[in-house]
Amino acid sequence: MKKFRILACTLLVTGFGLTSCSSDDDAQDVNNEVQIEGTYNLTAVKTAEPTDFDEDGTSHEDQMQETNCYDGTKLVLNADNTLTYQKNSVLIDVTEGNSACTEATYAGNWELLSGAGSDVILRLTYVDNNDDTVTMNVVKTGNEIRYTNEFGTYPDRDEETGGAVLTFGAVEYLFVK
């Protein structure tokens, strides 16, 4: 009976030792590719067709090479599932054929729709300046977020007058953390 108690105590102490805290318990997974929250800066605005919006004689599919109006655009995804969207873009007056840069900041929420690890699909929701709810389903792969608007508009030039116009077509936005 005495041997049984010693054996039981030994097993109990060993069990506690194996389940005790270790130095890696406090370490957080800081792999940027897996972590969703963070600041993602816009690095490309790719359009269905190349344009020469800046009228320098060279057309580009990436509108960020045609205008600096998109500079400073970013998505900030917070750990509490809130977001801030700093949206800078080109405003076109199609009546006058003029353009100007515009800036707006929106607050909203994000949620994980599917996926795991570094490959996930997120739903971003915010209310725009017209009080319309905007929903964007985006794909996060590694440190990149891509959003494609299949029915988007982008700045272009009227072939006859050279005035600023909006062209309808797919637009892909690439954000990088």
pLDDT digits (tens, 9 = 90+) for 87-113: 999 999 989 999 999 999 999 999 999
pLDDT score of 58: 96
- Kindly report the pTM of this predicted structure: 0.80
pLDDT score of 31: 56
pLDDT score of 33: 66
In whole angstroms, how large is the CA radius of gyration of the chain?
25
Indicate the CATH number for domain 34-176.
2.40.128
Q: Could you give the CA distance from residue 85 to residue 100 in angstroms, rounded to a whole number?
A: 20
How buried is 67 (Cβ within 10 angstroms: 0-12 exposed, 13-18 middle, 19+ buried)?
A: middle
pLDDT score of 57: 95
Mean pLDDT of 121-144: 97
